[in-house]
Structure 1
Amino acid sequence: MGNCLRKKSHDPNQPPPEPARPPTGDDAVKSSRSRKMSTSPVQQKTPSGPSQSSKSNHCKDEQCRATRQERHKHVSSHSPKENQKKSKGHGSPTTRRDWPKYVVWVPAKNINSFYYSVLRAATHKFSDENIIGEGGFGRVYIGYINPHSMSAAKPGTGKAVAIKVLRRRGVQNDKEWQNELRFLKKLNHPNVVKLMGYCNEGDHRIVVYEYMSKGSLDAHLLRENYTELNWSRRIKIAIGVARAVDYLHSCAKPIIHRDLKASNVLLDADFNPKLSDFGLARYGPLEDQSHVSSGVVGTRGYFAPEYFTTGHLTVKTDVYSFGVVLLELFCGCVAVKRSSDGTERELAVWAKPHLSNHMELHNIIDKKIARNIDMEEAHKFASIICRCLSSDPKNRLTMGEVLASLEQLQQDMSLSNLNTLRLSKYHRRPHILQ
């Protein structure tokens, strides 16, 4: 492990001890002044006598002025940035003092604080073979942790976890890292990814999640000739994500995800979906507010029109983004569609005319499910998508209404399949002639 190992063992749930802090601010300046004054000629003994008193006083005045100039030069010889840096003080690279001022320490309440050396060992030194995903935040690795000691384990002997590593430091990335921890440690829902822990050591910013064996939804949608993601499973995924978003919107202080997209929907071995990546999430407007203002952040192709043009953020912003995710499930395409001539066009803009036209609906259905989908069910699903993608947020469904509509569709599909099964059994029975 090299330098990542420590000589003494520590509890991984506790942050490393802080070394003694060097003098900072005015203390540092005063200390340097005192050292200057202790060696200055003013404090050195000089011969004195009646005939030399005036000359001695004159020399002392000159020396005082020289000393003052020296002090001034010492304090102001650096640029403002350097002086500010000096006044803050700096410690070891692995201590909190070198963190930027915008990073606030997140207490390790109810979640595990991992040493970097533990996560490095758990991922086989962050080997490329352990990479399971990559995005704007950084890379995601699979690692193995002993669930009892929270130490690194060998593959197959411990619990598999997903370890997301911040790629590069910066104001925005650090804020997103902290934001994700702040929200995920409060959330508890079967369709929201579970936070296992974090690492906040030196320059390392890492989030540890539960491992989702099927990966992200977008990876499945883009696979050629992939039939495992059938129509009924797509409805199941849509309902699971809708439950997660409705849970966020129903909190005492509504939470807006702001980055709903297929790549942030993770699937377990049974295709149960879990919503992840809360780096851009924020609290929504309360009852006495119509909206909250925000800089436009997120992913192209998922922006609600009013949010993109005004920066006004409401829970209906998430509803529009969720409508795009439903459209991706329906069409098997990504949110930004590339035409044959190389131009890019948003999927929602391209598909809207087809969604409202029953005669053209078959043109946008994913070919991998087109043969096994009932067109009546397809029309109902397309109607839900249209209500989510309305240009006017007032005309959009709430997430509670979206969830109820999807659950009703699933129930209708189950009844239809049951009736079909009964009918097929009836036709297979031998008829007894009277």
Structure 2
Amino acid sequence: MLLIWGHKEWLAEVQFLGVVNHPNLVKLLGYCSVDGERGIQRLLVYEYMPNRSLEDHLFNRALNPLPWITRLQIMLGAAQGLAYLHEGLEVQVIYRDFKSSNVLLDEDFKPKLSDFGLARKGPKGDRTHVSTAVVGTYGYAAPEYVETGHLSIHSDLWSFGVVLYEILTGRRVLERHRPTAEQRLLYWVRQYPADGKKFSMIIDPLLRDQYSINAARKIAKLADSCLNKNAKDQPTMNQVVEILKQAIQDSQKGTNSVNNNFGASGSKLGRKNPKLR
């Protein structure tokens, strides 16, 4: 269940999830709105996702680390969900709040995107963007959108690139104990480029070398392309899907592929990132 306080976000999610259907989007089972002593309280009922969120399994040290292949498969499913929003509907939909805490995991660790209260229709005709108030989550929101309020599907690409680096490094994009710009994730990883000799220094140590270095370089290059400030140089989400499929194949046949004998279990939800709103 998800308790939503804002009527606009609640209504948007009810309307959106009522018309879409994709294996990588969470299903809405029901909803209600009650006017009580505390005012109006609005509730959404999602399908049960026993393994909580990607955020939990990346950053909660009480859980077993996610295997490399599982991380890639989760990102592949998330990319397929975004590709459906961007190109699989009659109207283009911009998710606007892609982050690891919004990627929920079922019993088999298959991902489903959740929380569509901020989703909105993309530009029509020859327009390249829609102008809107800046909402989303610090660290994941694209700089151009934050600075100008110009929203496009490229904003989702930027957010996706951020999460790709989170699965590579096991570090949050913003961490309280790393307050300076020089210590933040995107600045830090750029000191270790994918083609550099020290690239492996950014890889999550919890993977314990059980990953394909070639596939990891491919993922870092993909993240960099998603984080390109020139929208024309970003891939489409369908192109992202194909690159992730290739990275999974490389990992499965590579000499230093992942050992899938790791376990993973659910836990309490981690803390949410601060909203821009």
Q: TM-score, normalised by structure 1?
A: 0.55
CA offsets 1:105-128 (integer angstroms, 9 cap, x no match) = xxxxxxxxxxxxxxxxxxxxxxxx
- Select the residue among 150, 155, 177 that pairs with 1:312: 150
| Structure 1 CA distance for aligned equivalents of residues 258 and 129 of structure 2 | 48
Per-residue deviation, 1:301 = 0.3
1:184 counterpart = 2:17:
yes
CA offsets 1:317-354 (integer angstroms, 9 cap, x no match) = 100001111111111111213445x5465422332232
Counterparts of residues 160-171 of structure 1 (less than 5 Å) = 163-166=1-4, 168=5
Greater fraction of residues in helix = 1
If asked which structure has higher relative contact order (CA below 8 Å, sep 6+), I would say 2
- The residue type equivalent to 2:192 in the other structure is H
Query: Which residue is equivalent to 2:203?
Result: 365
- Select the residue among 80, 83, 86 that pairs with 1:246: 83
**Conserved in 2, the CA contact under 8 Å of 1:256 and 1:282?**
yes
Question: Secondary structure of 1:277's match?
Answer: coil
- Select the residue among 393, 398, 401 that pairs with 2:236: 398
| Structure 1 CA distance for aligned equivalents of residues 103 and 150 of structure 2 | 25
Query: Which residue is equivalent to 1:214?
Result: 51
The verdict on how the C-alpha distance between 1:326 and 1:420 changes in structure 2, with shifts beyond 3 A counting, is closer
Question: Secondary structure of 1:353's match?
Answer: coil
Question: Secondary structure of 1:355's match?
Answer: coil
Provide runs of 4+ in structure 1 moved above 6 Å: 417-421
Give the root-mean-square deviation of aligned CA atoms: 2.2
**Conserved in 1, the CA contact under 8 Å of 2:212 and 2:255?**
no
Aligned length, in residue pairs: 253
The verdict on how the C-alpha distance between 1:252 and 1:417 changes in structure 2, with shifts beyond 3 A counting, is farther
Question: Secondary structure of 1:329's match?
Answer: helix
| Structure 2 CA distance for aligned equivalents of residues 244 and 408 of structure 1 | 18
Counterparts of residues 23-422 of structure 1 (less than 5 Å) = 163-166=1-4, 168=5, 173-202=6-35, 203-224=40-61, 226-250=63-87, 251-339=89-177, 342-343=179-180, 346-416=184-254
| Structure 1 CA distance for aligned equivalents of residues 49 and 55 of structure 2 | 14
Q: Which runs of 5+ in 1 are unaligned?
A: 1-162, 422-434
- The residue type equivalent to 2:71 in the other structure is R
Per-residue deviation, 1:414 = 2.5
**Conserved in 2, the CA contact under 8 Å of 1:301 and 1:347?**
no
Query: Which residue is equivalent to 1:101?
Result: none
- The residue type equivalent to 1:208 in the other structure is V
| Structure 2 CA distance for aligned equivalents of residues 325 and 346 of structure 1 | 14
CA offsets 1:293-315 (integer angstroms, 9 cap, x no match) = 11111000011121111111111
**Conserved in 2, the CA contact under 8 Å of 1:231 and 1:372?**
yes
**Conserved in 1, the CA contact under 8 Å of 2:77 and 2:110?**
yes
Question: Secondary structure of 1:354's match?
Answer: coil
Question: Secondary structure of 1:336's match?
Answer: coil
**Conserved in 1, the CA contact under 8 Å of 2:144 and 2:150?**
yes
**Conserved in 1, the CA contact under 8 Å of 2:211 and 2:257?**
no
| Structure 2 CA distance for aligned equivalents of residues 396 and 216 of structure 1 | 27
Q: Percent identity?
A: 42
- The residue type equivalent to 2:107 in the other structure is A
Q: TM-score, normalised by structure 2?
A: 0.85
**Conserved in 1, the CA contact under 8 Å of 2:214 and 2:250?**
no
| Structure 1 CA distance for aligned equivalents of residues 212 and 238 of structure 2 | 25
The verdict on how the C-alpha distance between 1:242 and 1:420 changes in structure 2, with shifts beyond 3 A counting, is closer
Q: Which runs of 5+ in 2 are unaligned?
A: 260-277
Per-residue deviation, 1:236 = 0.5
Range with greater deviation from structure 2 (313-322 or 283-292)? 283-292
The verdict on how the C-alpha distance between 1:225 and 1:213 changes in structure 2, with shifts beyond 3 A counting, is closer
| Structure 2 CA distance for aligned equivalents of residues 409 and 266 of structure 1 | 22
| Structure 2 CA distance for aligned equivalents of residues 420 and 367 of structure 1 | 13
Which structure is larger by alpha-carbon Rg, 1 or 2?
Answer: 1
CA offsets 1:83-139 (integer angstroms, 9 cap, x no match) = xxxxxxxxxxxxxxxxxxxxxxxxxxxxxxxxxxxxxxxxxxxxxxxxxxxxxxxxx
